[in-house]
Structure 1
Amino acid sequence: MATSATSRRNALSLDGLNFFLADVRDGLGPYLAIYLLAVHKWDPGSIGLVMTLAGLAALLTQTPAGALIDKTRHKRAVVVVAALLVTASCVVLPFITSFGLVAATQALGAIAGSVFAPAIAAISLGITGPKAFTRRTGRNETYNHAGNAFAALLAGGFAYLFGPVAVFYLMAAMALASVLAVSCVSADAIDHDVARGLEAHHQHEHEQPSGFKVLLSNRALLVFAVCCALFHLANAAMLPLVSQKLSQIDLSMATPLTSACIVAAQLVMVPAALLVGARADQWGRKPLLLAGFLILPIRGVLYTFSNDPYWLVGVQLLDGIGAGLFGALFPLVVKDLTHGTGRFNVSLGALTTAFGLGAALSNGLAGFVVQAAGYSAAFLTLAGVAAAAFLLLLTAMPETLRNDTEQEAAPCPTPA
């Protein structure tokens, strides 16, 4: 049994891992677009194609990444290798200019990044056990959002002082810091059977990860996958639409206000994640999920009330509630639905692919509606999709919280 000092070190290491990987998990995103446009004078079409290829690479590897994490007993090493690959994909960017090389490095970084979410979930579950996993997940998301806000503030400051290229070195530094954090996690503290959703010290090693089997035979998991896809189909395009409206209203203020939206929403997500960690085992998953899903259609409708920049920014803060609740509850629901199967992480990867596909289609749908009928129509369309997701969750999704009192589980230590 781990000593209290070891348990405290593991808890702090997981905190650090989530904090430093926060920005790394999401990739360079808009920072890459700004760099290629401002420094190398790429056309928007080429920039969009590079980002699309990276997004597709991430989508295609989510499920295999989950299967790898389910199977391997070297989860820490997988995180280290992935972080080093992301670091390499960042630091080489200032030295390459061709479309092929930039696309290859970003696809490599996206593929490597696809292992982070299932690896963090698996290591957390393997250390805490199912009983304490809720509180640990709440802490994971809390540090993730804090890390995102911290990285966004540093990225803005460094880009202002040193130019867009500074963002790449910042991300590389955070990736290397995550290597140090995961290296401090005790390898002996991870129960690899529990980490993949089996009972402790499970002996049926012939059960291999098979996400497709779980998805096709588990009705509740399928329903949840559709809910996730619809949620992100509605959510992903809302901030870009707000940014476009801000640009039309006051171009000089568009970038600062968009950055303010991102940082403030991340800070709002912190108490939302803490709420999940503290109450999801008492109140159940579904009430909190419904609250998170209900915020989204309300937000879409509120955007149509005014074109005032500060109104738009204020409404965007509601994203911190909806996305904060969803992000913290997502691994908990998948854990509940796959308990005892040994396929927790491959299912986590498959559902991540589902909502990633929804997010990928979101901007296309919104752009089509904007072109045909304007911004208000686009916001209302996304609100309609969000309402459909809420109704499906309300009527077809069961409560997934199960009684784990009969299981042995290590406590999730809280550092003094």
Structure 2
Amino acid sequence: MDTLQHRDSHNRALDWLNFFLADVRDGLGPYLAIYLLAVHQWQPASIGLVMTLAGVAALLAQTPAGALIDKTPAKRAVVVIAALLVTGSCLLLPLLSSFGLVALTQTLSALAGSVFAPAIAAISLGLTGPKAFTRRVGRNETFNHAGNACSALLAGGLAYLYGPVVVFYLMALMTVASIFAVSRVPAGAIDHQVARGLAHGPSGDDHPAGLGLLLHNRTLLLFAVCCGLFHLANAAMLPLVSQKLAQVDLRLATPLTSACIVAAQLVMVPMALLVGAKAEDWGRKPFLLAGFLILPLRGALYVLSDNPFWLVGVQLLDGIGAGIFGALFPIIVKDLTEGTGRFNVSLGALSAVFGLGAALSPGIAGLVVQSAGYNAAFLTLAGIAAAAFTLVLLAMPETHPRSHPAPTAMPDPAGN
């Protein structure tokens, strides 16, 4: 009974960590575009360049971040330090206006934020083990999306009353709450061998496989390409919508962007729950196809109207696509690396690949906007998304462990 109570307590602490960290782990996100456009009157290309620079820094840090999480037993401390750095970098923005200093703070924020995904995945795997990991990831994503929705609602309401700068202070509040939540996860409850993908036995060589593992695992490499294309198409869509909303009404831009985020996050909650509950029974690929199919459809629908309510409505589709993808990503990486002891470094390496897509996305979209307009940018992103879906459909296999037949036992010459 005590063991069950402790397990429930650990799971609740992890729930709240995902909830409060949701507002911290991605930094300012689309609010950065609104702030720079509304307060500093930056051009879309300059905004896109800052976001691209931060994204490039994040992708360079992803693989080392995963290796760090594989190596260190101080996973909780890493989360705390990263949360403080992200928030501190964002709190400096109201004091800065030059391109160089803004780019520097957002780069630092991106570097620190690169540890969150592997750290949360590792803590989850170390607490639950591989058999319960799928359901735990679904639960992580559920509370992460609920936290995003809650913080976006607060940001929208408070920004309407006090201006866009209020989102910085809301992030600081969420950081304090996330630090308290991670302190409630006992360090001794995390099996650090299991957390790096070694269920049994000693870890052997402690040097992470990193890129070598990617190059020798063709399915993992293919999945990395699919992830990169997905985020190349997806990352710029919401910032573009935010900029369109800001052009219509600067005062309503932040509240309406919050409405877009809330709409998507509320849809992501049941999607994450569904993946966590059914990905073991139905397999991974049906969910993956559904998530990738939504993205080109969403990009095409944005061009049909500039009406704010239409844009918010289309953003609901992001809840389906991103909700499924976010829950499946660590599950598929776990499938493909189980037993290697390189789960987190592989997670970091793949995060770097899709981070490259996410980093390039705003810059490419910003250039297309300046040369051909917003509709052309949305259609360009939709075309990239369609290519990603085709690749998943035709080349990506099912990764569920049961889809791989067990090796046939050799006959025993003695007849035993």
Q: Which residue of 2 aligns with 1:59?
A: 59
Q: Quick one: which amino acid aligns to residue 54 of structure 1?
A: A
Could you say if the C-alpha distance between residues 231 and 47 of structure 1 is closer, same or farther in structure 2, counting changes exceeding 3 Å?
closer
Unaligned runs of at least 5 residues, structure 2:
404-416
User: Any conservation in 2 of the 1:295–1:321 contact (CA below 8 Å)?
Assistant: yes
Q: CA deviation at 1:14?
A: 0.4
Change (3 A) 1:96 1:242: closer
> Is structure 2 residue 293 aligned with structure 1 residue 294?
yes
Q: 1:36 to 1:232 in 2, by over 3 A?
A: closer
C-alpha spacing 1:362/1:31, structure 2 compared with 1 (3 Å): closer
The amino acid that maps onto 1:392 is L
> Which residue in 2 is equivalent to 1:237?
236
What TM-score, normalized to structure 1?
0.88
Query: Shift of the alpha carbon at 1:399?
Result: 0.6
How far apart, in 2, do the equivalents of 1:166 and 1:246 lie? 19
State the shift of 1:252 in Å.
6.3
Q: Is this contact kept in 1: 2:197–2:340, CA < 8 A? A: yes
Q: Distance in 2 between matches of 1:19 and 1:345?
A: 21
The residue identity in structure 2 corresponding to 1:365 is I
Q: Is contact 2:333-2:347 (8 Å) kept? A: yes
1:113-192 to 2 correspondences below 5 Å = 113-192=113-192
Of 61-70 and 248-257, more deviation after overlay is shown by 248-257
Q: Hey, what does 1:395 align to over in structure 2?
A: 394
Contact 1:83 1:175 (C-alpha < 8 Å) held by counterparts = yes
Partners of 2:73 and 2:192 within 8 A in 1: yes
- Deviations, residues 282-321 of structure 1 (Å, cap 9, x unaligned): 0001110001111112222333444444333322211110
Bigger Cα displacement from structure 2, 268-277 vs 102-111:
102-111
CA 1:265 to 1:204, structure 2 compared with 1: closer, same or farther past 3 Å?
Answer: closer
Using the alignment, how far apart are the partners of 1:378 and 1:385 within structure 2?
11
Q: Residues 170-249 of structure 1: matches in 2 within 5 Å?
A: 170-200=170-200, 202-246=201-245
Q: 1:377 and 1:35 mapped to 2: Cα distance?
A: 24
Cα RMSD between the aligned structures?
2.6
Distance (whole Å) between structure 1 residues aligned to residue 387 and residue 280 of structure 2: 26
2:283 corresponds to which letter in structure 1? Answer: G
1:38 positional shift: 5.6
Using the TM superposition, give the Cα deviation of residue 388 of structure 1 relative to its aligned residue in structure 2, in angstroms: 1.3
Q: CA deviation at 1:111?
A: 1.5
Map 1:284-363 to 2 at 5 A.
Answer: 284-363=283-362
Q: Point out the more displaced range, 151-160 or 139-148.
A: 151-160
CA distance in 2, matches of 1:298, 1:46: 28
Distance 1:392 1:134, change over 3 A: same
Cα shift at 1:239: 2.5
Deviation at 1:345, TM superposition (A): 0.7
Q: Residue 317 of structure 1: SS of its match in structure 2?
A: helix
| Alpha-carbon distance in 2 for matches of 1:211, 1:343 | 7
Bigger drift between 232-241 and 315-324 goes to: 232-241
Give the total of aligned pairs: 402
In the alignment, the residues of structure 2 paired with residue 387 and residue 49 of structure 1 have an alpha-carbon distance, to the nearest angstrom, of 25
Which residue does the alignment assign to 1:81?
81
Matched-pair contact (CA < 8 Å) for 2:49–2:362: no
Distance 1:38 1:139, change over 3 A: same
CA contact (8 A) 1:87 1:176 kept: no
Q: Cα gap change, 1:392/1:51 in structure 2, threshold over 3 Å: closer, same or farther? A: closer
Which residue number in structure 1 is paired with residue 272 of structure 2? 273
Given that residues 75 and 123 in structure 2 are in contact (C-alpha distance below 8 angstroms), is that contact kept between their aligned partners in structure 1?
A: yes
Structure-2 separation of matches of 1:336 and 1:329: 10
TM-superposed deviation, 1:361: 1.9
Contact 1:293-1:322 within 8 A present in 2 as well? yes
CA shift digits 1:42-61 (9 cap, x unpaired): 74476655544333322211
Compute the displacement of 1:120 (Å).
Answer: 0.2
Q: Secondary structure at the match of 1:3?
A: helix
Any conservation in 1 of the 2:14–2:185 contact (CA below 8 Å)?
Answer: yes
Q: Give the conservation status (yes or no) of the 8 Å contact 1:90–1:172.
A: no
Name the CA shift for 1:398/1:138 in 2 (closer, same or farther; >3 Å): same
What is the aligned partner in structure 2 of residue 261 from structure 1?
260
Question: What secondary structure, in the 3-state scheme, does the structure 2 residue paired with 1:130 have?
Answer: coil
Letter in 1 for 2:15: D
CA contact (8 A) 1:86 1:172 kept: no
Gaps of 5+ in 1: 405-416
Q: State, as a whole percentage, how many aligned pairs show the same letter.
A: 75
Aligned amino acid, residue 354 of structure 1: V
Shift in alpha-carbon separation, 1:239–1:29, aligned structure 2, 3 A:
closer
Q: TM-score, normalised by structure 2?
A: 0.88
Offset from partner CA, 1:245-297 (integer Å, 9 cap, x none): 44566666554433311111111111110100110010001110001111112
Structure 1 counterpart of 2:17, one-letter code? L
Tell me the SS of whatever aligns to 1:209: coil
Q: Cα 1:367–1:92, aligned 2, differ >3 Å: closer, same or farther?
A: closer
- Distance in 1 (alpha carbons) for counterparts of 2:363 and 2:141: 29
Deviation at 1:34? 4.6
Query: Can you list the C-alpha shifts for 1:363-397, whole angstroms capped at 9, x where unaligned?
Result: 33334444555544433332222121111111111
Whether contact under 8 Å (1:267, 1:320) holds in the other structure is yes
| Counterpart-to-counterpart distance in 2, 1:299 and 1:194 | 38
Contact 2:155 2:255 in 1 (8 A): no
Please report how far the alpha carbon of residue 323 of structure 1 lies from its aligned counterpart in structure 2 after TM superposition: 0.5
How far apart are 1:205 and its partner, in Å?
A: 2.7
Deviation at 1:167, TM superposition (A): 2.1
SS of corresponding position for 1:204: coil
Name which of structure 1's ranges 271-280 and 108-117 shifts more when overlaid on structure 2. Answer: 108-117
Please state if 1:379 is matched with 2:378.
yes
Does the Cα contact within 8 Å between 1:86 and 1:175 map onto a contact in 2?
A: no
CA contact (8 A) 2:66 2:344 kept: yes
Structure 2 Cα separation of the partners of residues 103 and 356 of structure 1: 17
